[in-house]
Amino acid sequence: ARVNCFKVILSFDDELERLKSSLQMYFDVIRMVRNNKGLYTIIEIILALGNFLNGDNPRGGAWGFHIGFLRKLNETKTADNKKTLMT
């Protein structure tokens, strides 16, 4: 147990720096997403389209969407099965 404690103590500073740089990268990505007006506009259009299609539907009645839905945009097809929401 003592040897493991010494290993942790010796590697702590390096591990801390590695974690700091990883966290900084995530914070930078979050800042970029928050400040991206184009992404904001696309999500706004998707929300409006989804609300229009599903909002007053007796089966749907859904307003808004879960963020995981964005991955499914390429799979969501039109009524004639020829296009997706991304085409």
Each residue's pLDDT tens digit, 38-55: 888 888 888 887 777 776
Higher pLDDT, 54 or 23: 23
Could you tell me the two tokens for 42?
């696309």
Task: State the pLDDT confidence band at 75, using cuts at 50, 70 and 90.
Answer: confident
How far does the chain reach from its first CA to its final CA, in angstroms? Answer: 59
Task: Flag whether the pTM goes above 0.75.
Answer: no
